[in-house]
A and B are shown apart, each in its own frame.
Chain A
Amino acid sequence: MGPRLKLFLPLVIFASLALFLYRGLDLDPRALPSALIDRPVPEFSLPVLGQERLVGPADVIGEPALFNVWATWCISCRVEHPYLQQLADRGVVIYGVNYKDESAAAQRWLDELGDPYRLNIVDAEGTLGIDLGVYGAPETYFVDAAGVIRYRHVGIIDEKTWNTVLEPVYREMQVERSAP
């Protein structure tokens, strides 16, 4: 390297560092990749909200669905609830995982705000939550027809995230299902 070129070395180092850090500005440190992507839904046997029966994975897989982890103590869940209702009205299959909640309060919530869920799995102790790698509500897992977790969304689902990120995932799961 010529002595003149060598003078630019600090500039090059600075520029590459700046580029690296600039990229870091856009990254979300909370975006934690799920360890369960491409893995089957974990085993569980839990009660259904408002019913006297237990369900396991076999009862809730078979078609592409969303598993929405929610609770009445979760304020963001209240924010996303109307949009979930819209999705359900459009025919999106949503199962609820009522996470570390009181069933009476959960039932009241559904009576008052509407029920977008096909059924709600009562996870009072948070055991299914831990098996799913849930670290806070709301979280939504996209499970395909074969019962494999394809995507995990942390935070509320609104029109923007649905249109840009989530709907393509859901569509893909549906397309795969119709193709043999």
Chain B
Amino acid sequence: MSWKVLLGPLLGLFLSAPVAAVIETYEFSNPELEQRYQDLSFELRCPKCQNQNIADSNAPIAQDLRRLLYQQLEAGASDEEILEYMVARYGEFVRYRPSFSSSTAVLWLAPLILLLLALGVALFAVRSRRPAATEPLSEEERQKVRELLARGDRKA
């Protein structure tokens, strides 16, 4: 049996794992809606759960929100309208990428601030070390280096 025969099933096994998340299936009138359903259900967070999106959660509320998402998509709502609808009821908590506001500013800016802080510390550390390494040798030291090198040559 050639190894190529196994390749197909193996690839299937690895590639299909993330898709098998949702429990119930919905029939969409067009594939574009289905894609948006996938994207939104991965972006919306289950309010009952601590850290699961509604696509992964088995909680009754996640099922309800998936059904709602399906109904709204089929009714022609835009992504923004759907997110707005969810946020109006469950707060920014339901979005994994909450909109920027005074209450979420810390959340959005913290990584940037930490990065700048880290860069600052790194820069400071590098700066404070440099003078010791770049100080030129005095004539006396050069002489000593030459002597040491010459001695090394003799040994070799």
Contact = CB atoms under 8 A, between A and B. Distances in A.
B47 A32 contact: yes
Interface stretch (B9-17, B36-44, B86-94, B147-155): B86-94
Contacts of A129: 64
Given A29-B50, A30-B50, A32-B47, A133 B61 contact: no
A57 interface: no
Contacts of A136: 48, 59-61
Contact of A35 (B48, B50, B59, B87): B87
B68 interface: yes
B60 A133 contact: no
Contacts, number: 38
A127 B26 CA distance: 19
Given A33-B91, A35-B91, A130-B64, A135 B48 contact: yes
Interface bin, chain B: 10 to 19
Interface in A127-144: 129-136
Nearest to B68: A130
Interface string A116-160: 000000000010011111111000000000000000000000000
Contacts of A36: 89
A133 B61 CA distance: 10
B89 A131 contact: yes
Q: Is the interface of B mostly helix, strand, loop or mixed?
A: helix
A134 B90 CA distance: 8
Contacts of A131: 89
A100 interface: yes
B61 A135 contact: yes
A34 interface: yes
Most buried by B among A36, A132, A133: A133
B47 A135 contact: yes
Contacts of A29: 50
Interface residues of A, number: 17
A35 B64 CA distance: 18
A32 B93 contact: yes
Contacts of B50: 29-30
Interface in B43-72: 47-48, 50, 59-61, 64-65, 68
B48 A34 contact: no
B64 A133 contact: no
9 nearest CB pairs, A to B? A135-B47, A35-B91, A133-B89, A135-B48, A135-B61, A133-B90, A136-B48, A126-B64, A32-B93
Interface of A: 29-30, 32-36, 100, 126, 129-136
Given A32-B90, A32-B91, A35-B89, 5 more contacts: A132-B89, A133-B47, A133-B90, A135-B90, A136-B60
22 contacts: A32-B93, A33-B91, A33-B93, A34-B91, A35-B87, A35-B88, A35-B89, A100-B60, A126-B64, A129-B64, A130-B64, A130-B65, A130-B89, A131-B89, A133-B47, A133-B89, A133-B90, A133-B91, A135-B48, A136-B48, A136-B59, A136-B61
